[in-house]
Structure 1
């Protein structure tokens, strides 16, 4: 597969990157929730090995988040919304968890991984549709608690190719962190998630038989490069939008899209 000779493929990847980058900045979700199903569809249509296609989609999504997180967090930082002390406390656990997540994913076949991803996305979408804000009942935990929470966030994010916001934002909101700060801080957490998750996918996918040309472990470099070109430019726009308007209606639309994508991943799991 050589994207340089396929204009339709390039356009599809650019469209995915544009939407994923905007969503990453708007909701602090890293964009992986949207991109993994679309990349899975694309890789399947291009004839990639069925037993590797979901693993590659997740790894490529994490690589994209590595770049979009830097772009979106810069915009959030200009608004003074990123709580850097919280980022520092989460990071050690996230780094370990994000390395372990892809290792767990490698032990799962494509059907199991697609099913797990579908369940995770469907749960996240339902939470967004309900829109119930968690009761702010406590403060952030101590060092051990933050390490454990970071580990859980990292494992889930590394396993499904997301930035971890669907765990970190509700967690911070429960701990009396203002929602705009929680979203901005979650965008910053996407960087260590994506860094370690991408390195882990390169390591555990290295030498895997059947990988197409231009793959670095499970990361498919041509798709990553094209998606990043579009997503990095759109993430700041999404972040600015998040600070200028209420995003409740957009969250509902996004949740419906996620439910449709979860349905596709369930179909992929059983076919």
Structure 2
């Protein structure tokens, strides 16, 4: 009798927990749908070929956002090119080579804490170190390096989890066949863990492309009608452009449709970047 009651209680508890989880997922999905619907309703009229292909005109009250799109793309993928190799290398060292102990626990605690640091702190760090001390100035390179530092903890964490998910039997079989530890990591562990590591790149691209505080001190400028000619030139970026139009523009109410249109394009660009990474991950998983 007691066993039946305990089984029934566990089933009820399981249904209650799953109901809470489904409710949370439904609320998040509904909130996302409302936000996107609001942006589409208010911004779709502003989005046309002129808006996507021309620079801003007349104190940014007319024209388009093409320099902003190009700048966001450069900053997002540039930061990933900087952070992804370093993040994977750090994860390999922490998981495969570092000895367990207090020092390793402190390092992992520091990485977890850095993942939660506000982006404005990274922006001030980039301003002090890359812009001023390294004398890179307000440029693409400063912004890319700052965003790379910002997303590095996320990539390290996801890469280490991907390495941890590779079964130990893979390593044991490779070592038993005479491969060295580095050969085992390079040819067995990394190919198996790489699809999971791309999850970190997806999260990193999403955060880097949508950051404002980290680039307003290091890479983004109020207005520039031309595309950058080198890594040492400043750029316009979609998040900072939205901030400028909404807070510091000369005619904020007049540019309201442009603000919503820019936000809509930013969401679409982030979605496109994530889609590319997701497709690459899916192909690697099928090959594996």
With the length of structure 1 as denominator, give the TM-score of the two structures.
0.32
Of structures 1 and 2, the larger Rg is shown by: 2
> Structure 2 length normalisation: TM-score?
0.31
More contact order relative to length (CA 8 Å, sep ≥ 6):
1
